[in-house]
Structure 1
Amino acid sequence: MIGRTPQTPEYPMNKSGTQWKVGLAALLAVVVLAAPGAVMAKGPHGSIAEARQQPQGSTVTVVGVATSFTGGFFPNDNGFAIQEKKVGIYILDSLDADIQVGQVVRVTGTLTQSFGGVLSVAPTSIEVLGTANEPPPHPVKTGDVSEETEGRLVRIKGTIVSDIEDDFPYGFKFQVDDGTGPTTVFVNAGTGIDVSGLAQGQRVVIQGFSGEFLGEYEVDPVFPEDIRVLP
């Protein structure tokens, strides 16, 4: 999803409505850190939506619920995704934090793009504030997986219209189409999802992170139950 190309990583890779369960004051007490001369984002209270509107290179602070876990997209990187209401963003590295789905996380860092083209935050600090319900995936047509959905959880329903391609060591990919145009599903190796039971022609429901790789939009499932084969 994020990298999928042999290169020296920017960060070290280790193998290793939302209902907040923390006080509102704690979530809104956002401190933005920036190096001298950095462009400062002015999004209120760590808003992901506001951060996504800033120019790349800005120092931003975002708060959201983790929708993927540390290393779920390994070996591309050791990052994770977070979402605030209907807007999400990718965090390029965990800074050795063991982030789990459902944790409320505050991240400060530099707004950038991953190698694959996903708008992301290169973090300088990560703080776990508590836990919350994971936001539900947004149902979209396969032809509508795009820049508009990037960063958030989505759900698609359609037919597998391609072979299951082994993209070793990064994972597996295939195309799903509901009649509105195909989109790529990329199963990252770090998720441990078994794709051996999938085949062209099957009807499936798939949910996951709405991502991008070099201009090709895709859905990246996180857990085995994110891929369901219909009878």
Structure 2
Amino acid sequence: MHVKLAACAAIALACAALAPPERAARPPLTYTIARARTFAAGREVTVEGIVTVPSGVIDAGFAIQDATGGIWVADSTQHLRTGARMRVTGTLASSHGLLTLVSPGIRRIGHGRVPRPRRVRASSVGERTEGRLVTVRGTAVDSVTNDAPYGHKLRIDDGSGAVQIFFPAGAGDFDFRAIRPGTRVTITGFSGQYDQTLEVLPRSRADVVVARGR
């Protein structure tokens, strides 16, 4: 009996040795952000980028950007600062017109330099800039208006057309006393969209520069 058991064990070991090794799980295919933005809503993608808008400044989530583009990540679990390098796997969706990664799997993979904002004309704020950090410079068309509890808004025009500046409540306090119709301002922020309104959203008071005089 013991001889039979030993023989069976030897046969099992031999079969195991002949069996092909198990394949290791392949890591997800990582796309550039620009490429990921070309896919239809409902597609799951993996992208990597540097955090440009920290968690909680604009709703629940953060923004990341690589050398090709940027995208918003809807998330309420992370507390990320600018400069964190992240790998995000999520499903593409439209949130009030803004392309967003939802239900994300998030992994911090390092740290990097925050991309320099791209200087653009007010009329150029749109799909090509969406998700990126941009800088616009123009003249206030009207006064800052209160859009509580979400924040404040202002329209500026640089001669090419007007664009809305939205100051999110989560970005902290802004000093609006010096901004009146005709005031020249330079705004750096996240190029976004809410429904049909294209907008630039500054991340803090440091993103707003008011020119002296008019």
- 1:90 paired with 2:72, answer yes
Deviation at 1:178, TM superposition (A): 0.5
- Which structure's residues are more often strand, by fraction? 2
- 1:48 paired with 2:33, answer yes
Deviation at 1:31, TM superposition (A): 3.4
Q: Distance in 2 between matches of 1:86 and 1:154?
A: 14
How many residues matched? 186
- Cα distance change on mapping 1:86 and 1:203 into 2, 3 Å: farther
TM-score (norm 1): 0.77
Is the CA contact (8 Å cut-off) linking 1:153 and 1:210 kept in structure 2?
yes
TM-score (norm 2): 0.83
Q: Distance in 2 between matches of 1:138 and 1:119?
A: 19
- 1:230 paired with 2:211, answer yes
Q: Distance in 2 between matches of 1:65 and 1:167?
A: 30
1:146 aligned residue: 126
**Percent sequence identity over matched residues?**
39
What does 1:1-231 align with in structure 2 at a 5 Å threshold?
A: 31-32=27-28, 45-73=30-58, 77-94=59-76, 96-114=77-95, 116-197=96-177, 198-231=179-212
Deviation at 1:102, TM superposition (A): 0.7
2:13 aligned residue: none
Cα root mean square deviation, aligned = 1.4
Q: Distance in 1 between matches of 2:208 and 2:173?
A: 9
| Structure 1 spans left out of the alignment, 5+ residues | 1-29, 33-43
Is the CA contact (8 Å cut-off) linking 1:187 and 1:193 kept in structure 2?
no
- Which structure's residues are more often helix, by fraction? 2
Is the CA contact (8 Å cut-off) linking 1:31 and 1:61 kept in structure 2?
no
Deviation at 1:45, TM superposition (A): 2.8
SS at structure 1 position matched to 2:79: coil
Deviation at 1:142, TM superposition (A): 0.8
SS at structure 1 position matched to 2:131: coil
Q: Distance in 2 between matches of 1:31 and 1:221?
A: 35
| Structure 2 spans left out of the alignment, 5+ residues | 1-25
Deviation at 1:84, TM superposition (A): 0.6
1:11-46 deviation digits (Å, cap 9, x = unpaired): xxxxxxxxxxxxxxxxxxx933xxxxxxxxxxx533
